[in-house]
Amino acid sequence: MSERKPPIIGASLPRPDARDKVTGRALYTDDLTLPGMLHGTLLRSPLPHARIRRIDVSRARALPGVKDVVVGADTPKVRYGNWRLVPDSQDELPLAVDKVRFVGDEVAAVCAIDRETAERALDLIDVEYEDLPAVFTVDEAMADGAPAIHDEHPDNVSLKREIVYGDLDAAFARAEYVREDVFTTQAVQHAYLEPCASLAAPDEGGRVTLWTSTQVPYIVQCLLASTLGLPENHVRVIKPNVGGAFGGKMELRPWEFCAAFLALRTGRPVKFTLSRRDELAFGRRRHPMRLRSRIGFTKDGRITGREFDVLLDGGAYNAMGPTAAFLCGNFGGMLYRFPAYRYLGRHVYTNKPPASAMRGFGAPQALFACETQMNLAAEALGIDPIELRLRNAMQTGDEIPGVATIRSCGFTDSLRKVREMSDWDRKRKTPGRGRGIGIGCYSFISGGVFNWFDTKYNFATCEVRLFEDGTAHLLTMASDIGQGSDTVLRQILAAELGIGLEKIRLTAADTAVTPKADLGTWGSRVTLMAGNAVLDAARKIKAMLIPVLFAEYDLNQIHDIGFADDRVFVKAKPARGMSLAECAYKALRARRGEPLTAFGAYTPRNMGLVSPAFSFGAQVAEVAVDEETGLVKVERMHTAHDCGTPINEMAVEGQLEGSIHMGLGYALMEELKVEGGVTLNDTFLDYKIPAAEDMPPSASVTVETWEPEGPFGAKEAGEGLVSPTAPAVCEAVHHAVGLCFTDLPITPLKVLRGLGKLPG
């Protein structure tokens, strides 16, 4: 384990943009205006499945103030999807051409002098539909004779993902205890505070600039250029401040296309802003899943093998479903040593709004099933749930054949820490009586190594410029969407160059300025992947400076040069050195003014199929269950987690608290109710998320490990922690009142039915 950790690594530093955000000075996409700007609106399908027979926009065009109306037939009709390297998976059009596939499918777009006029114009568009049979569950969609939502997939299964290793038949044959359970999870929404917005402006030469609320500016640039029929460099994408995303803003979306398309047609800027109803009723959501898990144990609690079969309800389009289908199987085989494992995941089309990426990306569903099953198995085997996990826990050096190599793992220490800090042994022995304690665990990726988008670029890139005054400029496509990654990348650069954070200017997420081609913010990739790119660039800058010291002091090549406290110096004799500014000035003179600029890049090599690094952790929930009302109150959370070496302790703590909030909603209350393809709870009055008073007191401890692939030993701390909360709460309820739920959320109604106080 390396111990090289500069003081700024691990420091709790506030975000530079925090003051602007809390005072309202920060600008988001909808805050932006341009001279002559038009306002856009979208016409959406009222039917879940129908052919488009005719669209008449003449009355809308004639409305005073309307500047343009477009339908699918007016567009280049280029299909798109994030899996660009798998053309068959690209199944979306910006505006529907032949038929609509869910209530809310975009059919037409209008731009006008103000939003009110644009909305009035929508009422004047006449669409003739031919109603088609619709399917709303995976069972309906896969049944014989079901209508095909996409002709290319007559069985409505858009793709299958498999992971197989070991002899599973032999594993179950030698098992002394085998259990099989079926779990179901629900659709939930990201509920970010900033609804999506996009503003496009035409540029000279047929180019276009798009400001948009996104977490993947480069991917939006590439897909938008493709759908517009433009060269990639004719499209500029700029990410302003983003008010949360959680996976809901990581694709090209119809309003981004329509804003750019209408801007080019009208020659004027065009802005689209979604409402909260748009987001809840028609927006992307976490995949509902049905998960069947079969697992075998020896009588002393050693796992012999697992079979994991998952159906993902993908809604009308693939979106990020191909990735979710694979990752769900990956997470089902993590955490524990499985001598044999077989996974089959099927992504199924239904006539509902598309499901896609959401924080955890397949892990919350997989780990709710797998961790709940571990707790049930522990009870059946008569083994303490933590002890059962300790007997099977992954360790550093473990390998999943062809899938993953574990180079750092603090799972065992996390289990022991959370056991101690929660007083587990004493509380677990106490009879329930309406109060209970339960555990859930997690492992998560630090960025996926599968490049499903483009192979001609690195996974993460950046540029670092050093100036003669000792200041630096970091340019990166990595997207800070509220998680604080801009601060973390500054810390990494500051640590490597030995300068203060205040001396670093950062420019991020502008495809015309920042280097290609970071894939954006998803899969907890930024700290490790963009961080390594920053380290690469910083080390190249240092290599430009070191010769100055060698020449100044007539040193030979064996001397080790240090960078700290704004100085460059000989480590063995620190007095032999100079300020970074002086060193930069002399380097520039020696280079005859050639800038001190370095390009940094990172792409994982030989790291398996999934990720270069994995986080681990354990969480204990304490709950009280009111047996008269069925209400579950989480009274305390205890978390121990391994995120490698934390770069910013304050940021890690913030991610933990946000994860608990999201995990509580998933466990206890959040669920999008859909009937006949219509989402019924499309406001925050009806779609319940935890409020401040629902947040329990919590205690956490970081189990530090050193991840050899991570910058300064760091790995992910952004998504993994969202997954253990639901199984921990579920087990705590089981301990409190004897009810184990295999379907989420655990609502008061379900509790009362389980207690026999309401009919089932």
**Tens digits of residue pLDDT in 566-599:** 999 999 899 999 999 999 999 999 999 899 999 9
Boundary (domain end) residue, out of 244, 273, 302: 273
Distance, CA of 49 to CA of 15 (rounded, Å): 46
CB burial of residue 123 (10 Å; 0-12, 13-18, 19+)? exposed
Is residue 9 situated within a structural domain?
no
Closest CA to 282 of 156, 39, 106: 106
524, 658: one domain: no
* Whether residues 516 and 557 fall in one domain: yes
Q: Is residue 535 part of a domain?
A: yes
Q: Which pLDDT score, from 0 to 100, does residue 359 have?
A: 96
443: enclosing H helix or E strand: strand 435-445
Domain final position from 238, 273, 308: 273
pLDDT at 424: 98
Same-domain check for residues 443 and 464: no
Rounded to whole angstroms, the Cα distance separating 365 from 350 reads 19
Long-range contacts of 689-695 (CB under 8 A, 24+ apart): 689/191, 689/665, 690/661, 690/664, 690/665, 694/634, 694/664, 695/657, 695/660, 695/661, 695/664
Q: Give Cβ neighbours of residue 421 (< 8 Å, ≥ 6 apart).
A: 638, 640, 699, 701
Within-domain flag for 143: no
Distance of CA 166 to the CA centre of its chain: 31
- Looking at the DSSP bridge assignments, the partners of residue 624 are 435, 633
R_g of the chain computed on alpha carbons = 27
Beta-bridged to residue 608, according to DSSP, are 404
User: Which tokens in the block code for residue 350?
Assistant: 């239904």
Domain-embedded: residue 43: yes
CB 346 within 8 A of CB 310: yes
Residue 208: per-residue pLDDT: 98
Whether residues 585 and 646 fall in one domain: no
Task: Please state, in angstroms and as integers, the Cα–Cα distance from residue 700 to each residue in 452, 633, 642, following that order.
Answer: 35, 19, 11
| Single-letter residue type at 238 | I
Q: Closest Cα partner for 479 from 451, 458, 507, 455?
A: 507
Task: With respect to residue 744, please indicate whether it lies within any of the assigned structural domains.
Answer: yes
List, in sequence order, the alpha helices (H) in 514-556.
Answer: 531-553
Same domain, 322 and 264: no
- Does residue 100 contact residue 53 with C-beta atoms inside 8 Å? no
Residue 446 makes CB contacts below 8 A (sequence gap 6+) with 523, 524, 525, 527, 528, 529, 611, 612, 613, 614, 615, 707, 709, 710, 715, 716
> At a CB cut-off of 8 Å and minimum separation 6, what does 445 contact?
327, 330, 523, 524, 610, 611, 613, 614, 716
- pLDDT at residue 198, rounded to an integer: 98
Interacting residues of 123 by C-beta distance below 8 A, sequence separation 6+: none
Query: 329 and 200, same structural domain?
Result: no
* Helical residues (DSSP H) of 591-688, grouped into ranges: 649-668
Residue 275, number of CB atoms within 10 A of its CB:
12
Tokens standing for residue 386: 């933590």
Collect the ranges in the chain with pLDDT lower than 50: 1-2
pLDDT tens readout for residues 96-115? 999 999 999 999 999 999 99
* Residue type (1 letter), 714: A
Domain span at 88: 32-132+196-273
CA distance 388 to 386: 5
Kindly report the number of other CB atoms within 10 A of residue 754's CB atom. 18
Q: How far apart are the first and last CA of the chain?
A: 56
Distance CA 94, CA 72 (A): 7
Bridge partners of 399? 405
Q: Which of 602, 632, 654 is the last residue of a domain?
A: 602
Tell me if 178 is assigned to some domain: no
Residues 546 and 477 both lie in one domain: yes
Same domain, 301 and 408: yes
Cα separation, 150 vs 742, in Å, equals 32
Report the domain count for the chain. Answer: 3
Q: Please tell me whether residues 94 and 200 are part of one structural domain.
A: yes
**What region does 24 belong to: left with phi over 0, alpha with psi -120 to 50, or beta?**
left
Q: Is 442 exposed, middle or buried (0-12, 13-18, 19+ CB in 10 A)?
A: buried
What type of residue sits at position 531?
A: G
Joined together, the tokens standing for residue 635 give: 């009274």
Evaluate whether 724 touches 637 at the Cβ level (below 8 Å).
no
Residue 155, CA distances (Å) to 143, 150, 325, 458 in order = 8, 9, 17, 37
The DSSP 8-state label assigned to residue 457 in this structure reads S
Residues 6+ positions from 41 with CB-CB distance below 8 Å: 109, 110, 112, 115, 118, 119, 121, 122, 272
Predicted pLDDT at 455: 59
Judge whether 190 lies within some domain.
Answer: no
3-state DSSP call for residue 92? strand
CATH number reported for the structural domain that contains residue 677 in this entry = 3.30.365.10
- Look at residue 495 and tell me if it is in a domain: yes
Say if residue 437 is in the same domain as residue 540. Answer: no
Instruction: Find the CATH number of the domain harbouring 209.
Output: 3.90.1170.50
DSSP, res 608: B
For residues 467 and 573, membership in a common domain is answered with yes
- Name the 3-class secondary structure at 749: helix
3-state secondary structure of 311: strand
Do both 390 and 411 map to the same domain? Answer: yes
pLDDT value, residue 401:
85
